[in-house]
A = this chain, B = another copy of it.
């Protein structure tokens, strides 16, 4: 069989190590030129495929592709865009095939989370449904760590390292200030449905008195009185209290705090993120001076403090996806299988996309302490290996030297298509 071209796209929220997977895909494809011709990337994800807006990664130097390993976010642009089902909008799938045929694309690599695994599954079925020969492989990615089958998700380890480091550092700060000033520090972190990132903050607390003393998980209904009692207890014991709170914290009715707010002293609804709400609650009810932080994109883009394990796994999963594709394995996703915790050892496995698509891996209840305010030893044993090792980027002029690719367009061959 003659070499076919490959299409690669990034999907959904980006991470500190998503581009490491891209480097894994492209560098490995370059080593198998008898099987894979060009690697075209979708400009802004799957939208690039639909609009025939393809980037010729062959125009990038080996150094530029290697630099992707140390560059955060999505070098080709990502997209929050979910294909409708084949039954609801057949035309989108026909368009994909049309573009793939026009550019001799035989391999489809989709780098994303739950939703994109589902999209990849649908695309993988096109050989059967529309008679176009295509091998589709999904490359896992999500800071939320909520993909099924795989032991962990690329992107999570680096966010975990960032948030645990940040709350440790802020904890040292507030502990220094607590005698005359700030006593309570609140940091809001990502993870609307699953508390993996909140849990990662807990790694920073290795013994009593360490920050963070309290974690507020999306899995645990927020109980105002129990929370306030705990804050007071911690401040009286340690002199200060550092709290990590999930953006997805919910009240007793199961509603997001960020949507319902809390009443202030005058009975007015106070909106804002969960971090702000929790901080104000502490001030209103306990009168402690507080500070709060919202890491937002900083946490998932923080390539400067990425986990070495995470970078290695991300790259490897991209590389393995190419090997699977060359072997003709359609509708699969390479995954991380954990062999042991101490020492941490892992290997690559293979999951069927049907077992991954649209599933969500929640935190086990026994990863959270009985009182709901911290992580258990079991949780620590699971997350800790994922933040090991440093993989700093190169620096130039005192700042991380991240690459911006040329992203040269592949000439279009088809009429326009509106998405």
Contact = CB atoms under 8 A, between A and B. Distances in A.
Contacts of A374: none
Interface stretch (A131-139, A293-301, A318-326, A349-357): A293-301
Interface string A223-259: 0000000000000000000000000000000000000
Interface in A73-125: 73-75, 77-81
A295 B297 CA distance: 11
A61 interface: no
Interface residues of A, number: 69
A384 B398 contact: yes
A343 to B, nearest CB: 13
Main secondary structure of the interface of A (DSSP, over half): mixed
A183 interface: no
A297 B170 contact: yes
Interface stretch (A25-33, A161-169, A214-222, A361-369): A161-169
Contact of A165 (B172, B272, B291, B304): B304
A301 B170 contact: yes
Given A172-B73, A176-B14, A399 B161 contact: yes
A88 B304 CA distance: 50
B81 A177 contact: no
Nearest to A296: B293
Interface string A160-190: 0100111011101111111111100101000
A153 interface: no
29 contacts: A16-B169, A47-B180, A73-B169, A73-B172, A77-B175, A77-B176, A77-B179, A78-B176, A79-B180, A80-B181, A161-B398, A164-B398, A164-B399, A166-B302, A169-B302, A170-B296, A170-B297, A187-B298, A203-B397, A291-B297, A293-B294, A293-B298, A294-B294, A295-B298, A298-B298, A384-B397, A384-B398, A388-B398, A389-B398
The 8 closest A-B pairs by CB, nearest first: A74-B176, A387-B398, A44-B179, A73-B172, A293-B296, A169-B301, A173-B301, A170-B297
